[in-house]
Amino acid sequence: MINKRIVREVSLHAGWAMTLCLLGAAAQAEPADVETATGFAQAWSQEDWEAVAYAIHPDELARVRKLALDAIEAEAKDGGKETRTRLFGAAVSVDEVRRMTPYATMTVFVKRFLVAPRAMKKTRVVGKAKESDKLQHYIVRGWEDEKGKGASSALLVTLIPYGKQWAVAVPAELEERIEAAIAGGAVGARDAGDSRVAALDPAIARLLDSGIAALKEGRCSEYYNEMMSPSFRKSTAPAAVKTLITQCEKNQSMRDKTRLALEIARTLRPRYEYGDTRAVFDMTGQGLPFDRFVVEKIDKKWYVAE
Protein backbone atom coordinates (compact mmCIF):
# COMPACT_ATOMS: atom_id res chain seq x y z
CA MET A 1 0.00 0.00 0.00
CA ILE A 2 1.31 3.45 -0.89
CA ASN A 3 2.03 5.69 2.10
CA LYS A 4 0.00 8.84 1.38
CA ARG A 5 2.14 10.97 3.68
CA ILE A 6 5.30 10.02 1.76
CA VAL A 7 3.56 10.71 -1.57
CA ARG A 8 2.54 14.13 -0.26
CA GLU A 9 6.11 14.88 0.86
CA VAL A 10 7.52 13.81 -2.52
CA SER A 11 5.10 16.24 -4.16
CA LEU A 12 6.12 18.94 -1.72
CA HIS A 13 9.77 18.22 -2.45
CA ALA A 14 9.25 18.89 -6.13
CA GLY A 15 7.58 22.17 -5.31
CA TRP A 16 10.25 23.25 -2.86
CA ALA A 17 12.98 22.31 -5.35
CA MET A 18 11.42 24.61 -7.92
CA THR A 19 11.05 27.32 -5.25
CA LEU A 20 14.72 27.12 -4.38
CA CYS A 21 15.71 27.29 -8.03
CA LEU A 22 13.57 30.37 -8.55
CA LEU A 23 14.86 32.02 -5.39
CA GLY A 24 18.46 31.35 -6.32
CA ALA A 25 18.14 32.44 -9.93
CA ALA A 26 19.97 35.61 -10.90
CA ALA A 27 20.00 37.76 -14.01
CA GLN A 28 22.57 35.34 -15.47
CA ALA A 29 23.26 31.67 -14.74
CA GLU A 30 24.98 31.02 -11.40
CA PRO A 31 27.23 28.06 -10.56
CA ALA A 32 25.25 25.28 -8.84
CA ASP A 33 26.91 25.80 -5.46
CA VAL A 34 26.28 29.55 -5.46
CA GLU A 35 22.66 29.05 -6.56
CA THR A 36 22.09 26.54 -3.76
CA ALA A 37 23.63 28.80 -1.13
CA THR A 38 21.76 31.94 -2.19
CA GLY A 39 18.48 30.09 -2.68
CA PHE A 40 18.74 28.61 0.81
CA ALA A 41 19.55 31.98 2.38
CA GLN A 42 16.62 33.60 0.60
CA ALA A 43 14.19 30.85 1.66
CA TRP A 44 15.46 31.14 5.25
CA SER A 45 15.04 34.93 5.26
CA GLN A 46 11.48 34.62 3.93
CA GLU A 47 10.54 31.94 6.47
CA ASP A 48 9.81 29.42 3.74
CA TRP A 49 10.49 26.68 6.27
CA GLU A 50 9.44 23.74 4.09
CA ALA A 51 11.91 24.81 1.41
CA VAL A 52 14.60 25.27 4.06
CA ALA A 53 14.04 21.73 5.38
CA TYR A 54 13.98 20.24 1.89
CA ALA A 55 17.30 21.89 0.94
CA ILE A 56 19.15 20.11 3.78
CA HIS A 57 21.15 17.00 2.86
CA PRO A 58 19.18 13.72 3.41
CA ASP A 59 22.00 12.31 5.56
CA GLU A 60 21.79 15.39 7.76
CA LEU A 61 18.02 15.02 8.05
CA ALA A 62 18.38 11.40 9.14
CA ARG A 63 21.17 12.22 11.61
CA VAL A 64 19.21 14.97 13.36
CA ARG A 65 16.03 12.88 13.50
CA LYS A 66 17.97 10.04 15.14
CA LEU A 67 19.57 12.45 17.62
CA ALA A 68 16.16 13.75 18.70
CA LEU A 69 14.36 10.40 18.64
CA ASP A 70 17.05 8.63 20.68
CA ALA A 71 16.78 11.31 23.38
CA ILE A 72 12.98 11.10 23.43
CA GLU A 73 12.92 7.29 23.52
CA ALA A 74 15.40 7.25 26.41
CA GLU A 75 13.31 9.79 28.31
CA ALA A 76 10.06 7.92 27.61
CA LYS A 77 11.40 4.80 29.33
CA ASP A 78 11.43 6.76 32.58
CA GLY A 79 8.01 8.29 31.91
CA GLY A 80 9.40 11.74 31.12
CA LYS A 81 8.24 14.22 28.48
CA GLU A 82 10.27 17.40 29.10
CA THR A 83 12.72 16.87 26.22
CA ARG A 84 9.90 15.99 23.83
CA THR A 85 8.02 19.13 24.87
CA ARG A 86 11.06 21.35 24.34
CA LEU A 87 11.72 19.84 20.91
CA PHE A 88 8.22 19.36 19.51
CA GLY A 89 5.72 21.04 21.82
CA ALA A 90 3.46 19.63 24.50
CA ALA A 91 0.80 18.39 22.09
CA VAL A 92 3.04 15.96 20.16
CA SER A 93 3.09 12.38 21.44
CA VAL A 94 5.98 9.91 21.33
CA ASP A 95 4.14 7.86 18.70
CA GLU A 96 3.69 10.95 16.53
CA VAL A 97 7.43 11.65 16.73
CA ARG A 98 8.18 8.04 15.78
CA ARG A 99 5.99 8.33 12.70
CA MET A 100 7.63 11.55 11.47
CA THR A 101 9.93 11.25 8.47
CA PRO A 102 13.34 12.94 8.66
CA TYR A 103 12.01 15.72 6.42
CA ALA A 104 8.92 16.25 8.60
CA THR A 105 11.08 16.30 11.73
CA MET A 106 13.39 18.94 10.27
CA THR A 107 10.43 21.04 9.15
CA VAL A 108 9.24 21.14 12.76
CA PHE A 109 12.70 22.14 13.98
CA VAL A 110 13.34 24.94 11.49
CA LYS A 111 9.88 26.41 12.17
CA ARG A 112 10.43 26.14 15.91
CA PHE A 113 14.05 27.19 16.37
CA LEU A 114 15.39 29.15 13.40
CA VAL A 115 15.13 32.93 13.50
CA ALA A 116 14.92 34.64 10.13
CA PRO A 117 16.89 37.82 9.32
CA ARG A 118 15.26 40.60 7.30
CA ALA A 119 13.71 39.27 4.11
CA MET A 120 16.12 39.07 1.18
CA LYS A 121 15.01 40.03 -2.32
CA LYS A 122 18.51 40.22 -3.79
CA THR A 123 21.40 37.98 -2.69
CA ARG A 124 25.08 37.63 -3.41
CA VAL A 125 27.84 35.35 -2.15
CA VAL A 126 30.45 37.67 -0.65
CA GLY A 127 32.75 35.04 0.84
CA LYS A 128 33.60 31.39 0.35
CA ALA A 129 35.86 29.00 2.28
CA LYS A 130 36.63 25.36 1.49
CA GLU A 131 37.11 23.42 4.72
CA SER A 132 37.45 20.03 3.00
CA ASP A 133 36.30 18.16 -0.10
CA LYS A 134 33.00 17.52 1.68
CA LEU A 135 32.44 20.86 3.39
CA GLN A 136 32.32 24.39 1.96
CA HIS A 137 31.13 27.57 3.68
CA TYR A 138 29.47 30.52 1.97
CA ILE A 139 28.65 33.96 3.33
CA VAL A 140 25.51 35.20 1.62
CA ARG A 141 24.55 38.85 1.90
CA GLY A 142 20.97 39.78 1.12
CA TRP A 143 19.17 43.07 0.62
CA GLU A 144 15.53 43.97 1.16
CA ASP A 145 15.71 46.06 -1.99
CA GLU A 146 15.68 44.15 -5.30
CA LYS A 147 18.43 46.44 -6.60
CA GLY A 148 20.76 45.54 -3.73
CA LYS A 149 20.52 48.88 -1.95
CA GLY A 150 19.70 49.88 1.60
CA ALA A 151 19.49 47.56 4.63
CA SER A 152 21.08 44.13 4.35
CA SER A 153 21.96 41.10 6.44
CA ALA A 154 24.29 38.12 6.07
CA LEU A 155 23.93 34.39 6.62
CA LEU A 156 26.48 31.60 6.77
CA VAL A 157 25.48 28.63 4.60
CA THR A 158 27.45 25.38 4.64
CA LEU A 159 27.18 23.02 1.66
CA ILE A 160 27.84 19.30 1.30
CA PRO A 161 28.27 17.48 -2.05
CA TYR A 162 25.11 15.61 -3.06
CA GLY A 163 25.82 13.51 -6.12
CA LYS A 164 26.82 16.02 -8.78
CA GLN A 165 24.93 18.79 -7.01
CA TRP A 166 25.00 20.38 -3.57
CA ALA A 167 22.84 20.20 -0.46
CA VAL A 168 22.90 22.23 2.74
CA ALA A 169 24.29 21.19 6.11
CA VAL A 170 22.20 21.81 9.23
CA PRO A 171 22.83 25.46 10.24
CA ALA A 172 25.10 25.62 13.28
CA GLU A 173 22.66 27.77 15.28
CA LEU A 174 19.85 25.28 14.64
CA GLU A 175 21.92 22.32 15.77
CA GLU A 176 23.04 24.21 18.87
CA ARG A 177 19.41 24.88 19.84
CA ILE A 178 18.40 21.27 19.27
CA GLU A 179 21.30 20.03 21.39
CA ALA A 180 20.51 22.61 24.09
CA ALA A 181 16.87 21.47 24.16
CA ILE A 182 17.98 17.85 24.58
CA ALA A 183 20.38 18.90 27.34
CA GLY A 184 17.59 20.69 29.22
CA GLY A 185 18.02 24.29 28.12
CA ALA A 186 15.09 26.68 27.66
CA VAL A 187 15.18 27.29 23.91
CA GLY A 188 12.72 28.13 21.18
CA ALA A 189 10.54 30.51 23.21
CA ARG A 190 9.18 33.43 21.21
CA ASP A 191 8.23 36.86 22.48
CA ALA A 192 4.48 37.30 22.79
CA GLY A 193 4.71 40.78 21.28
CA ASP A 194 4.38 44.39 22.38
CA SER A 195 0.84 44.14 23.73
CA ARG A 196 0.20 43.84 27.45
CA VAL A 197 1.24 40.41 28.66
CA ALA A 198 0.11 39.62 32.20
CA ALA A 199 -0.65 36.81 34.60
CA LEU A 200 -3.63 34.59 33.95
CA ASP A 201 -6.88 36.12 35.15
CA PRO A 202 -8.39 33.78 37.82
CA ALA A 203 -11.72 33.87 35.97
CA ILE A 204 -9.98 32.61 32.81
CA ALA A 205 -8.32 29.88 34.85
CA ARG A 206 -11.73 28.76 36.10
CA LEU A 207 -13.06 28.69 32.53
CA LEU A 208 -10.12 26.59 31.36
CA ASP A 209 -10.44 24.21 34.32
CA SER A 210 -14.14 23.74 33.58
CA GLY A 211 -13.43 23.08 29.92
CA ILE A 212 -10.70 20.56 30.74
CA ALA A 213 -13.03 18.69 33.10
CA ALA A 214 -15.90 18.68 30.59
CA LEU A 215 -13.70 17.30 27.80
CA LYS A 216 -12.13 14.68 30.07
CA GLU A 217 -15.63 13.42 30.93
CA GLY A 218 -16.94 13.62 27.37
CA ARG A 219 -19.43 16.41 28.13
CA CYS A 220 -19.04 17.90 24.66
CA SER A 221 -22.49 19.48 24.51
CA GLU A 222 -21.75 21.43 27.69
CA TYR A 223 -18.39 22.57 26.30
CA TYR A 224 -19.74 23.85 22.97
CA ASN A 225 -23.06 25.24 24.24
CA GLU A 226 -21.91 26.83 27.49
CA MET A 227 -18.18 27.50 27.29
CA MET A 228 -17.82 28.59 23.68
CA SER A 229 -18.42 32.29 23.09
CA PRO A 230 -21.92 33.53 22.22
CA SER A 231 -20.24 35.25 19.28
CA PHE A 232 -19.00 31.86 18.03
CA ARG A 233 -22.42 30.27 18.45
CA LYS A 234 -24.13 33.22 16.74
CA SER A 235 -21.81 33.08 13.72
CA THR A 236 -21.91 29.28 13.43
CA ALA A 237 -24.92 27.49 12.03
CA PRO A 238 -26.74 25.29 14.57
CA ALA A 239 -26.18 22.27 12.33
CA ALA A 240 -22.43 22.97 12.32
CA VAL A 241 -22.36 23.24 16.12
CA LYS A 242 -24.27 19.97 16.36
CA THR A 243 -21.73 18.33 14.04
CA LEU A 244 -18.86 19.59 16.20
CA ILE A 245 -20.51 18.15 19.29
CA THR A 246 -21.09 14.79 17.59
CA GLN A 247 -17.49 14.62 16.37
CA CYS A 248 -16.25 15.54 19.83
CA GLU A 249 -18.35 12.79 21.44
CA LYS A 250 -17.23 10.12 18.98
CA ASN A 251 -13.59 11.12 18.53
CA GLN A 252 -11.37 10.66 21.57
CA SER A 253 -8.36 12.10 19.73
CA MET A 254 -10.27 15.30 18.94
CA ARG A 255 -11.31 15.69 22.58
CA ASP A 256 -7.77 15.08 23.78
CA LYS A 257 -6.27 17.66 21.40
CA THR A 258 -8.85 20.27 22.41
CA ARG A 259 -8.34 19.52 26.09
CA LEU A 260 -4.57 19.67 25.68
CA ALA A 261 -4.86 23.16 24.17
CA LEU A 262 -6.72 24.28 27.30
CA GLU A 263 -4.13 22.62 29.55
CA ILE A 264 -1.27 24.37 27.75
CA ALA A 265 -3.07 27.72 27.92
CA ARG A 266 -3.51 27.15 31.66
CA THR A 267 0.29 27.35 32.06
CA LEU A 268 0.83 30.50 29.95
CA ARG A 269 0.64 34.27 30.37
CA PRO A 270 -1.73 35.61 27.70
CA ARG A 271 -1.61 38.85 25.75
CA TYR A 272 -4.60 41.02 26.69
CA GLU A 273 -6.31 43.13 24.03
CA TYR A 274 -9.31 45.46 23.61
CA GLY A 275 -9.41 46.77 27.14
CA ASP A 276 -8.65 43.38 28.66
CA THR A 277 -11.75 41.81 27.12
CA ARG A 278 -9.76 39.43 24.93
CA ALA A 279 -6.83 37.18 25.89
CA VAL A 280 -4.60 35.60 23.25
CA PHE A 281 -2.38 32.65 24.12
CA ASP A 282 0.69 32.06 21.94
CA MET A 283 0.65 28.37 20.98
CA THR A 284 3.57 28.59 18.55
CA GLY A 285 5.73 25.49 18.64
CA GLN A 286 3.38 23.48 20.88
CA GLY A 287 2.65 20.88 18.20
CA LEU A 288 -0.96 21.96 17.79
CA PRO A 289 -2.63 22.59 14.39
CA PHE A 290 -2.97 26.29 15.30
CA ASP A 291 -0.62 28.98 16.64
CA ARG A 292 -2.96 30.72 19.05
CA PHE A 293 -5.83 30.11 21.45
CA VAL A 294 -8.26 32.92 22.29
CA VAL A 295 -10.78 33.61 25.05
CA GLU A 296 -13.01 36.66 25.26
CA LYS A 297 -15.10 38.42 27.89
CA ILE A 298 -18.76 39.11 27.17
CA ASP A 299 -21.03 40.63 29.83
CA LYS A 300 -18.29 40.16 32.43
CA LYS A 301 -17.93 36.44 31.71
CA TRP A 302 -15.06 34.67 29.92
CA TYR A 303 -15.68 32.25 27.03
CA VAL A 304 -13.55 30.28 24.58
CA ALA A 305 -13.58 32.44 21.45
CA GLU A 306 -11.95 30.22 18.82
Are 122 and 146 spatial neighbours (Cβ–Cβ below 8 Å)?
yes
129 is a domain residue: yes
Q: What is the pLDDT of residues 87-118, one digit of tens each?
A: 888 778 898 899 889 998 998 899 888 888 88
Start-end of H helices in the chain: 4-24, 32-45, 49-55, 58-77, 82-88, 94-99, 102-113, 172-183, 202-216, 220-222, 230-235, 238-250, 252-266
What pTM, to 2 d.p., does this model score? 0.62
State the total domains in the chain. Answer: 2
The residue out of 130, 153, 183 marking a domain boundary is: 183
State the residue range of the domain holding 239: 196-304
In a domain, 189, yes or no: no
Would you state the pLDDT for residue 235?
Answer: 73
292 and 262 within one domain: yes
Shared domain for 28 and 148, answered yes or no, is: yes
| pLDDT for the residue 278 | 83
The pLDDT value recorded for residue 248 is 93
Same domain, 94 and 50: yes
Going by pLDDT thresholds of 50, 70 and 90, the confidence category of residue 300 is confident
Are 210 and 174 contained in the same domain? no
Could you tell me if residue 190 is inside a domain?
no
Task: List the single range of 19-28, 159-168, 198-207, 294-303 with lowest mean pLDDT.
Answer: 19-28
In a 13 Å sphere around the CA of 119, the CA atoms on its Cβ side amount to: 7
Asked whether residue 191 is domain-assigned, the answer is no
Q: Is 57 a member of any domain?
A: yes
What's the pLDDT tens digit per position in 37-67?
999 999 999 888 889 999 999 999 999 999 9
Same domain, 132 and 241: no
What is the dihedral sign for C-alpha 50, 53, 57, 60?
negative
Percentage, residues of the chain above pLDDT 90: 49
Sorting pLDDT into bands at 50, 70 and 90, what band is 274? low
155 and 10 inside one domain: yes
Provide the β-strand partners of residue 27. none
Can you tell me the distance from the alpha carbon of 114 to that of 124, in angstroms, rounded to the nearest whole number?
A: 21
The rounded distance, in Å, linking the Cα atoms of 56 and 103 is 9
Mean pLDDT of 244-272: 92
- Amino acid 76: pLDDT: 92
Let me know whether 160 and 71 are in one domain: yes
Q: What is the C-alpha to C-alpha distance for residues 55 and 16, in angstroms, rounded to an integer? A: 8
Closest CA to 139 of 22, 37, 20: 37
